[in-house]
């Protein structure tokens, strides 16, 4: 489901607003709105406004109308979450994943952890705590919203009826989509390189056993995104970790010990237990990834180019080549056909929008742009799903050019539009009704015209 505007605006501003200890030091803070028992501070509004300026995000209308109203809508949802006893904790796997991704993004934008700390005037620990609080609130908002909307979806008849008389020019435009088959093969890692990586991890384990901090070593040496949090992964169940990692991590019992070296598709790890709660554990790890030699990369490229030539000369089908040569577990058993999960409704499709392909697999997108349907590419290198370098060839199975949505070919897209419209109508009515029954006070000087909803209850 698409995040509503109030979700995105509040999250962006809270995450990229000025640090709590240094924001707007020249502004005398005050409560400007109260929604239920939740205050909205003048500094909250200023933080949102400055964040929008920093991100060059236009704010429609008067920011001192738009921003407080967006914050007030969020407060309505949080007030309802409290009434419904909705609980979201930082140990939730989705929360942890979102926090990890956001922290990586912020460090990437700032250039380094130190730059981010200087900009936010906060320690990394405090930044992460703030990000976690904000994301927990947003998950509460989304849970309330989902509960309000319910599980009802539009029937095929309702979808057809909605678009039956709509002029073609008013139908949504579907961006260019492609269907792609892929054969990927990871270059071989030399035994010497494996031994080098293992020796590094053994050294780190020895240093921990002699009293050094595992978390500090993870910050310094781990190649995983969790490094900025000292390698800590948060509470995870067995199914949330890859099997090789999970079996070793869940066998740990003493937080003072370091695991044996574990090999996964991501590289080589050592693990330290932090805490166990029921059927979940919180652990930290250090990930090291072997480096690939240019000679092995070239060997793999040449081998896949030879495979491509066999396919082009009809000496082997692409499907047969997938079975023989591809080591991509996500596509190997599906004739190499790549799939895309729509983030709005979680449906799986082989039709991938080119803009999404550019965001997820730029190397594949660049190759596909120059290809004709049925053509097989030359071999190229790319980053796989696990972040490791791999080599690949692709076949462009189909290309669907940009077009106006068609009720037959794009039925799922049109269904999503109807469902979204229905959801927004339900939420709109809920907000209006909720305002009527919720205590709201707006400070004199902040009661302005232009609000979308009747906050003044006039």
Domains 5-152+419-442 and 174-188+292-404 equal at CATH topology level: no
Residues paired with 173 in a beta bridge: 404
Question: CATH: 3.40.50.1220, 1.10.10.10, 3.10.50.40, 3.40.50.10860. Which one for 191-288?
Answer: 3.10.50.40
Q: From first to last of the 458 residues of the chain, give the pLDDT tens digit.
A: 444 544 444 444 444 444 443 444 444 689 999 998 889 999 889 888 887 776 677 888 889 999 999 999 999 999 899 888 988 877 676 787 788 778 877 777 777 778 888 877 888 888 888 888 888 998 899 999 999 998 778 888 989 888 888 888 888 898 999 999 999 999 999 999 999 999 999 999 999 999 999 999 999 999 988 888 899 888 888 888 999 999 999 999 999 899 999 999 899 999 999 999 888 899 999 999 999 999 999 999 999 999 999 999 999 999 999 999 999 888 988 999 998 876 665 677 888 999 989 988 899 999 999 999 999 999 999 988 777 889 999 999 999 999 998 888 888 888 888 988 899 999 999 999 999 999 999 999 899 888 999 998 86
pLDDT at 13 (0 to 100): 45
Q: What is the pTM of this model?
A: 0.65
pLDDT at 250 (0 to 100): 95
pLDDT at 416 (0 to 100): 85
Angle CA(446)–CA(447)–CA(450) in degrees, nearest 5? 110
Helix (H) or strand (E) holding 9, with range, is helix 5-16
Query: Which CATH fold topology does 5-152+419-442 show?
Result: Triger factor/SurA peptide-binding fold (1.10.4030)
pLDDT at 227 (0 to 100): 87
Asked if CATH classification 3.10.50.40 holds for the domain at 174-188+292-404, the reply, yes or no, is yes
Question: For residues 202 and 128, what is the distance between their CA atoms, to the nearest angstrom?
Answer: 30
Q: What is the 3-state secondary structure (H, E, C) of 393-421?
A: EEEEEEEECCEECCCCCCHHHHHHHHHHH
pLDDT at 28 (0 to 100): 62
Residues paired with 41 in a beta bridge: 31
Domains in the chain: boundaries: 5-152+419-442, 174-188+292-404, 191-288
**Read out DSSP for 157-221?**
HHHHHHHHT--GGGSPEEPPEEEEEEEEEPPPPPHHHHHHHHHHHHHHHHHHHTT--HHHHHHHH
pLDDT at 393 (0 to 100): 97
Q: Which two tokens stand for residue 453?
A: 């909803």
pLDDT at 155 (0 to 100): 87
pLDDT at 346 (0 to 100): 63
């Amino acid at each position: 489901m698409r995040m509503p505007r109030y979700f995105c605006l509040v999250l962006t501003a809270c995450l990229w607003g000025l640090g709590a200890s240094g924001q707007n030091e020249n502004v005398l803070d005050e409560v400007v709105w109260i929604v239920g028992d939740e205050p909205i501070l003048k500094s909250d509004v200023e933080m949102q406004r400055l964040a929008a300026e920093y991100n060059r995000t236009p704010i429609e209308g008067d920011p001192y109308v738009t921003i407080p109203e967006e914050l007030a809508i969020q407060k309505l949802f949080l007030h309802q979450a409290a009434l419904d006893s909705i609980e979201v904790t930082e140990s939730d796997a989705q929360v942890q994943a979102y926090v990890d991704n956001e922290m990586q993004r912020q460090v990437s934008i700032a250039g380094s952890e130190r730059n981010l700390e200087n900009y936010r005037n906060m320690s990394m620990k405090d930044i992460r705590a703030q990000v976690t609080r904000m994301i927990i609130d947003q998950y509460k908002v989304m849970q309330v919203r989902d509960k309000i909307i319910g599980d009802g979806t539009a029937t095929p008849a309702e979808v057809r009826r909605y678009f039956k008389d709509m002029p073609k020019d008013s139908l949504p435009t579907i961006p260019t989509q492609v269907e792609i088959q892929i054969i990927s093969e990871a270059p071989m890692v030399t035994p010497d390189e494996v031994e080098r990586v293992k020796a590094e991890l053994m050294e780190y384990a020895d240093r921990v056993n002699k009293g050094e901090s595992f978390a500090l070593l993870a910050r310094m040496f781990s190649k995983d995104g969790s490094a900025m949090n000292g390698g800590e992964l948060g509470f995870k169940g067995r199914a949330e970790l890859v099997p090789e990692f999970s079996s070793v991590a869940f066998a740990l019992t003493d937080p003072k010990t370091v695991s044996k070296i574990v090999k996964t598709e991501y590289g080589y790890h050592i693990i330290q237990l932090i805490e166990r709660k029921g059927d979940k554990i919180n652990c930290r790890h250090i990930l090291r990834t072997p480096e690939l030699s240019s000679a092995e990369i070239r060997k793999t490229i040449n081998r896949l180019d030879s495979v491509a030539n066999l396919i082009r000369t009809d000496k082997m089908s692409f499907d047969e080549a997938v079975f023989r040569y591809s080591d991509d577990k996500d596509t190997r058993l599906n004739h190499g056909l790549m799939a895309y999960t729509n983030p709005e409704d979680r449906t799986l499709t082989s039709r991938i929008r080119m803009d999404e392909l550019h965001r997820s697999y730029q190397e594949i997108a660049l190759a596909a742009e120059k290809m004709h349907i049925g053509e097989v590419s030359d071999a190229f290198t790319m980053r796989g799903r696990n972040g490791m370098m791999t080599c690949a060839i692709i076949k462009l199975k189909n290309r669907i050019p940009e077009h106006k949505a068609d009720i037959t070919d794009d039925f799922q897209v049109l269904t999503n539009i109807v469902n979204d419209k229905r959801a927004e109508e339900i939420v709109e009515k809920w907000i209006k009704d909720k305002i009527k029954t919720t205590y709201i006070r707006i400070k004199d000087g902040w009661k302005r015209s232009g609000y979308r909803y009747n906050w003044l209850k006039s």
